[in-house]
Structure 1
C-alpha cells in the first residue's frame, strides 16, 4: 500500500504517459547542470498508407495504386514491409541521437542568448569581442608555418648574484626609458642585436667599424646610467612591512585650507577628467565635512584621510615645478614627498591590506595613479597586484547591480575597477609577464557615460548618454584598455595556432569602427578637453595593430611586404607625433603630466632602426623631426651621424644595465646563438681565421661576439614598442633609395631588414586585408586629427 503511494504504477497515470509520448523532447535547464532527461518513448506504429496520402493527410484505400494517387496522377509509393527487430532497433537509435542533437542545439542557443544579454548591459559588448572564438573562420594556409622568434620571451629569470639594491628602471635615452623588456618581451641579448645592426650597416657602406670594447663612455658612471628621472615616484618599503611606518598624526600632513582649496581646483581641472576615481558631488560634501571636523578638533575617519591626502598627491604631481614654486613658494619635490608619506601613513592606519571599506581601496587606487606613469618598477607592479586582489576580495569584479546598491556606489565601484584594469596593463607592459586580470574573470560593467550630478537625480540614468559628459574621456580610455587586454590574450593564441592573424585584425577594425560611430559625434574641436580626448583616442588606437603585427615585422625568414611596412611606419610616426603633441601643445598642457602612462616612445626605436637599416624609407622628414625631439639630439648634425650616435648610446647603456640586472638567457637562446655564430663563421672568407664556438654562455661583452653573432634580427620584439600601432594607410613620400636629406647613405642592400615586394612571404589574407583597409582609404577617414600647433621648439611636418 505504502509503496504504491510513493511509487505509483504507470498504468495509473495514463495522461502523463500520453503527454510523454506526444512531446518526446524534454528540455533540460538552460545552465546544463540539471538532471538528465527521461528516455524518449516512441510508439513505432505500423504505417500502411502510401507516402503521398500520408504527407497530405488523406484517407488512403491502400490499393496499389490507391484511388487518390490515381485521381491526381501521382506516384503511389508504399513503405517496405515491417523491418526486422535489428533494423527497428537501429532506427530507434538514430531517432534517439536526433533528439539529443536537438536538445543540444536548444541549450546552445539559450546559452548564447544569455551571454549576449549580459555582455550588452552597460556597454560591455564591444565590437569584435562578442563573437565566440569557435566561430572564427579557418586562416590562410601560409599561417600554419609561422613560428615565434627565439629571441624574445614573456618570462624572465635572473642570476642569484644580481644586485637587489638596483632600481629596475632601466636606462634613460633621451625621453625613452629601456629595461630588459622591450615591447613587453624580455630580450636578454638586446645590446648585441643593436650592435649587429650597426656593424652590418657599416660593413655594407664600407665604413670603419666601431668596436665596443668598453660599454662606458668617457666620464659616464654606472650610477649616472641608471638614475631615475624627475617624474619617478616609488612606494616606500615600510609601506608594507614596517610595524609603524610613521607615528605622526593626520594633522602633521594636513595643508592649510587655502592651499588645499587651490590644489582641489587643480585636481578637478587636470586629474579628474583624465583619471577619474571619485564621484565629485559626494567627494565635495565629504571634503567640506572634513574641514568642519578639523575646526571642531575631531580627527576625520582614516579612510577619508587617505583619500584626501592621495588626492593632494595627484594634484601636486600634475603641476609643473614652476607652477608649484609660483603658487606655493616651495619646491615641488618637497610637497610631493610630504603628501606621499602622508598618504602611505594614512593607508597604513586605515589597514588597507585587510580593509572591507570601498573608500580605503579608492584611496589606494588614487595613490597608485601618479606613481604608475612613465617610470614603473616591480615594486609598483607588486603594489598594483595587491590592490587588484583586494578589489576582488571586496567583490569589485562583480557588477554592483548584483548587490542592489545605490547608483552612485555602483558607479564608483565600476570606476575603481577599471582604473585597476588600466594599472594592470600599464605595470604589465613595464615589468611583465602578462596581465593579472582576465576578461572572463569579471562581469563589472563599464561606468555609464553620464554626468556625476545625474546619478543623484530622482530618476538616475540607466543607459549611456550620446553626448559629451564628465565621464566620456575616462570611458573611452576604459574601453580601449579592454581591447588592449584582449590583444594581450590573443597573442599567445596566435602562437598556438588557435586563431588567425586575419581574424584578430578584423576584430580590431570592427572595434575601432564601433568607437568611431559612438564617440566621434561627441567631440567639439574648439574645446581643449575634447581635443585631449581625441588625441588620446588616436594615440591609444594606434597601438592596437602593432600589438598583433609587430611579431611579423622585418622577419629575417619571412620579410614583411612593403605595403604592410608602409602602414606600420605611417602609424608609428603618427603615434609619436600624437605623444609629442600632448607634451608640447599649450592647449593640452593641463593633461600632459599623464602622457608617460599612455606612451613611452619605444616606437621611436622602431622608426630609427627602419631608417638606418633599410633602403626604402617613408616619411623620413617627419620621422627625423620626431627622433630629434625624443632622443634630444642636435638637429643640425648629419642624419647618418645622429643614427649612429643614438644606436651606440643604446648599445652602451643597455649593456651596462644587463650586466647589473643579470638576466638569465634561456637554454634555447644560447643554442640558437651558437648555431647562428657557426653559420656566420662558415660564410667568412678562407683567409679569415676561425675560432671554436662554445654552446654555453660566454662573455657577452667581447667584441668578437659582436662581429660573429648574427641573430635572427627578423624579430617582432626588437622592433616592437610596448604599445601597438594602428596601421592607417595614407599617401606617403618615399625618399630616394639609399639617400637622405644630407646626402648620407644609411645602409646598403646587405643591411635591409624589412624590404620585400612579395606579399606571399607573410601570413596575411590580403583579400580580407583590403576589406579592412581599402587601398584608396584616406588617413582622416579613420581617425580625424584636430589641427593642433606644437610648441615653439617642435615643428612637425604637416600630416
Structure 2
C-alpha cells in the first residue's frame, strides 16, 4: 500500500472489479466503478490506510482533530448501545417465565439467535461485505442482497438492466397503486355475480384443503368448513371480510389446477376463471379498506392474495403486498407470540399459523428476488404446534386440557414446520458475511440434523404426503448449498479452477433435474406448485454460463442443455410466465449468448432439445420416490468416457453422486 499525491491506494482491487475480473486502479472510488456508477467498496479498512487518510485529511482540513474527537464519541455511544442490546430483540420478560409457551419461546430463540461473539467476529470482517449491491442511475435506485444470484453471477456485469420498466401486467399494478394510496375502488360493489355455483364452490373448497391448505395449514380444516357453512347460511359475524377470504381461496385453488382440470370441472377456460376471481379479490379487499383493517379474516385474505402473487411470479407486486401484509399483521399484533397475552390456546394457535405463513413468504422474497426481510425486529411469534387438525377442539372456549401435546414425526403440520425451519435459516444466513462460507455450511448441517431427528427418521416412502416434505427440503437446502458453493468458487482466487467450476456446474444441473423430477412426480397430487414457487435462478444462470466451457463432458452438456430447454419452456406458460419479470431478461440474455455457442457448431446436433419435441419420462410412482440420505435423488446412469466433450482427463472430476452434498 502506498499514497501518491495525498490519495490512498489499496493493496487489493475493489470488490466490484474482482467480481468482474477487470483491472482496478485501487482508488476509492476506482475509475471503473466511477464510470459504471457502482458502489465501490473493499474488503475492509487495511492497516495503515486509515492513518494515511486521516493524515492527508489533516493537511487539507484544519478541523481534522475535532472530527477525530467526534468519531471517538460516536464509537463510545455505539459500544454502549451494543451492550444494552446484547440480549435478543423481543426477549420475554423474566416475570413471564412460568408459561410453557414462554419456555419454548426462549429455547427456540436461543437456538436461532446469532451470538454476540459471532456478531463481533462478523463485524470485524467489514460491514461492506454485507452491504449488498446498490444500483442507481438517473433517479432510479435499487438495493440487492450480497447473496442474490444476479449479484454473484460474474457474467452479469451491469445490474442496471433491473432498473428498466417491467412489462405491464393488466389489472394489477394500477390496482396496487390505487389501493396503497387509499383511493376509492374502481370495481363494481356487487360481487354476487362472481360467486361460483354451490357445486363449484364445494369442489373448490375441497381442492383447497387437499392441494393448498394441507401444506400451508393457514386455517384449521374443521374451522374452515364450519365458517363456510355459517357464511352460506348468513350467520357469519363478518360476512364481507369472510367473502374476501373465500375469493382468495377460490383464486389460489384455481391457479394451482391444470387447465384441463379446470375445463373439465368448471366448463370454462382457466385463464378466464383466474381473471374473474382475481378481479373479485381486488374488489372485495378494496371495499374493506384493507390497509387499515383490524379484522383477522382480512389479514388472512391478504396473506393468501400475496401467496398468489408469488406463485404468479409477479415480482414487484408480490413484494409490495408482502410489505403491506406484514404491516397489517403487525398492527393486529400477530408478530408477537400469543403467550404474552391472556389468549386461549386455540386462538394462539390460529395467530401462530397466520404469522408462520408470512415468515415463509418473506423467505421466498429473499431467495427469489434478493429482497431484504421485512419482518419487524420485535417479532417473536414461535411456530405452531406439530399436531393433527383433528386433535384440536376448534373453539375459543376450549379448555386448556384439550390442547394437543405436540410431537415429533409426521402430522398435518409437519410440512409447514419444515418450511418454517428452512425459512428461518434463510433469514439467518443473510446476517452472516458473504465470505463466512464455513459458518453458513455449519448452520445448514445443523438444520439437516434437526430435520432428520424430528421429522425424517420415520418417513413412509409409500405415502406421497410424507415424501413430498423430504423433496421440498431437498430442493430448498440444495439451493442454499449451491449459492455457498458458487460463492466459494468465485472467491477462492481470481480465476476459479476447472475442478471448482465443474463441481458447481454439476450441482446446478443436478438441482434442475431434481426440480423437474419432483414437478412431474407430484403433479398428479396437485403439489407441483411446491417446486414451481422457487424459481432456480442461480442454477439456471450457472448452467447457461458454464455450458460453453471446454472442460464440460459431453454427457453433462446433453443433460444441461435438456434442462435449460425444459425450464424455458415451462416458464413460457402464461400461468407462470416470467416475461414480465425484469430478472428473467438476465437469463434470456445469457441464453442468447449460449445460443450463439450452439450455432457456431461447437457441439453435436444430438445435444439440442427442442421444447416441442420434448416428451417427459414417465415418473416413478409417488410411492417409489428415490431420495438418498443427502436429500438428493439417486441416479444410476454410468458415465462413459466416450461421451467426453473436449474433456481433460487429468482433472479427476467427481461424478454427480460423489459430491459431498
For residue 199 of structure 1, what is the aligned residue in structure 2?
none
Contact 1:449 1:465 in 2 (8 A): yes
- Taking the TM superposition and a 5 Å limit, the aligned residue runs for 1:249-268 are 249-268=190-209
For residue 72 of structure 1, what is the aligned residue in structure 2?
none
Distance 1:386 1:352 in 2: 9
The answer to whether structure 1 residue 449 and structure 2 residue 382 are counterparts is no
Instruction: Identify which range, 416-425 or 476-485, moves more after superposition.
Output: 416-425
- Taking the TM superposition and a 5 Å limit, the aligned residue runs for 1:21-40 are none
Structure 1 residue 158: Cα displacement: 4.0
For residue 78 of structure 1, what is the aligned residue in structure 2?
none
Aligned pair partner of 2:427 in 485, 490, 496: 485
Structure 1 residue 469: Cα displacement: 1.3
Distance 1:136 1:121 in 2: 24
- Taking the TM superposition and a 5 Å limit, the aligned residue runs for 1:511-660 are 511-555=447-491, 557-560=493-496, 568-585=504-521, 588-613=524-549, 615=551, 617=553, 620=556, 622-632=559-569, 650-651=589-590
Distance 2:225 2:354 in 1: 18
For residue 355 of structure 1, what is the aligned residue in structure 2?
293
Distance 1:313 1:474 in 2: 21
For residue 236 of structure 1, what is the aligned residue in structure 2?
175
Structure 1 residue 535: Cα displacement: 0.8
Taking structure 1 as the reference length, what is the TM-score of the superposition?
0.55
* Structure 1 pair 447–256 and aligned structure 2 pair: CA distance change class (3 A): same
- Taking the TM superposition and a 5 Å limit, the aligned residue runs for 1:209-220 are none
Structure 1 residue 285: Cα displacement: 0.9
3-state SS of 2:526 partner: helix
Contact 1:306 1:343 in 2 (8 A): yes
* Structure 1 pair 260–138 and aligned structure 2 pair: CA distance change class (3 A): closer
Distance 1:127 1:413 in 2: 22
Structure 1 residue 651: Cα displacement: 4.6
RMSD, aligned α-carbons = 5.0
Contact 1:448 1:464 in 2 (8 A): yes
Structure 1 residue 119: Cα displacement: 8.1
For residue 314 of structure 1, what is the aligned residue in structure 2?
252
Distance 1:449 1:340 in 2: 33
For residue 406 of structure 1, what is the aligned residue in structure 2?
344
For residue 276 of structure 1, what is the aligned residue in structure 2?
217
Deviations 1:24-50 (A, max 9, x none): xxxxxxxxxxxxxxxxxxxxxxxxxxx
- Taking the TM superposition and a 5 Å limit, the aligned residue runs for 1:52-131 are 121=104, 125=108, 129-130=112-113
Structure 1 residue 227: Cα displacement: 8.3
* Structure 1 pair 470–733 and aligned structure 2 pair: CA distance change class (3 A): closer
Deviations 1:303-359 (A, max 9, x none): 111111111111111111111111111111221111111112222222211111222
Aligned pair partner of 1:326 in 264, 273, 288: 264
For residue 460 of structure 1, what is the aligned residue in structure 2?
402
Deviations 1:265-306 (A, max 9, x none): 111111112233211111111100111129xxx996221111
Deviations 1:720-761 (A, max 9, x none): xxxxxx99899999979xx984x7549x99xxxxx899xxxx
Contact 1:309 1:343 in 2 (8 A): yes
Contact 1:191 1:650 in 2 (8 A): no
Distance 2:450 2:110 in 1: 6
For residue 505 of structure 1, what is the aligned residue in structure 2?
441
Contact 1:303 1:360 in 2 (8 A): yes
* Structure 1 pair 138–745 and aligned structure 2 pair: CA distance change class (3 A): same
* Structure 1 pair 548–618 and aligned structure 2 pair: CA distance change class (3 A): farther
Distance 2:347 2:318 in 1: 27
Distance 2:385 2:362 in 1: 21
For residue 663 of structure 1, what is the aligned residue in structure 2?
none
Deviations 1:75-114 (A, max 9, x none): xxxxxxxxxxxxxxxxxxxxxxxxxxxxx9xx99xx9997
* Structure 1 pair 376–534 and aligned structure 2 pair: CA distance change class (3 A): same
Contact 1:154 1:185 in 2 (8 A): no
Structure 1 residue 136: Cα displacement: 8.6
- Taking the TM superposition and a 5 Å limit, the aligned residue runs for 1:107-256 are 121=104, 125=108, 129-130=112-113, 132-134=115-117, 153-160=132-139, 183-186=148-151, 236-237=175-176, 238-241=178-181, 242-256=183-197
Distance 1:113 1:401 in 2: 12
Structure 1 residue 185: Cα displacement: 4.5
> Which is higher, the Rg of structure 1 or of structure 2?
1
3-state SS of 2:490 partner: coil
The answer to whether structure 1 residue 346 and structure 2 residue 275 are counterparts is no
Distance 1:508 1:385 in 2: 27
Between structures 1 and 2, the one with greater helix share: 2
Distance 1:426 1:515 in 2: 20
Which runs of no fewer than 5 residues in structure 2 stay unpaired?
A: 1-82, 571-584, 594-629
Instruction: Identify which range, 574-583 or 314-323, moves more after superposition.
Output: 574-583
3-state SS of 1:441 partner: coil
Structure with more contact order per residue of length (Cα contacts < 8 Å, sep ≥ 6): 1
For residue 32 of structure 2, what is the aligned residue in structure 1?
none
Deviations 1:554-609 (A, max 9, x none): 34834556776565445433321221123212565411134332233540221342
- Taking the TM superposition and a 5 Å limit, the aligned residue runs for 1:678-717 are none
Structure 1 residue 453: Cα displacement: 2.3
Contact 2:418 2:473 in 1 (8 A): yes
The answer to whether structure 1 residue 474 and structure 2 residue 416 are counterparts is yes
Structure 1 residue 460: Cα displacement: 3.3
Contact 1:154 1:184 in 2 (8 A): no
Contact 1:368 1:384 in 2 (8 A): yes
Contact 1:539 1:578 in 2 (8 A): yes
* Structure 1 pair 317–649 and aligned structure 2 pair: CA distance change class (3 A): closer
3-state SS of 2:392 partner: helix
For residue 353 of structure 2, what is the aligned residue in structure 1?
415
* Structure 1 pair 630–577 and aligned structure 2 pair: CA distance change class (3 A): same
* Structure 1 pair 113–538 and aligned structure 2 pair: CA distance change class (3 A): farther
Deviations 1:504-539 (A, max 9, x none): 322221121111111112421111221221211111
Aligned pair partner of 1:337 in 263, 267, 275: 275
Distance 2:210 2:659 in 1: 30
Aligned pair partner of 2:243 in 305, 314, 319: 305
Distance 1:595 1:248 in 2: 37
Deviations 1:53-85 (A, max 9, x none): xxxxxxxxxxxxxxxxxxxxxxxxxxxxxxxxx
Deviations 1:347-374 (A, max 9, x none): 2222211111222101110111121125
For residue 427 of structure 1, what is the aligned residue in structure 2?
365
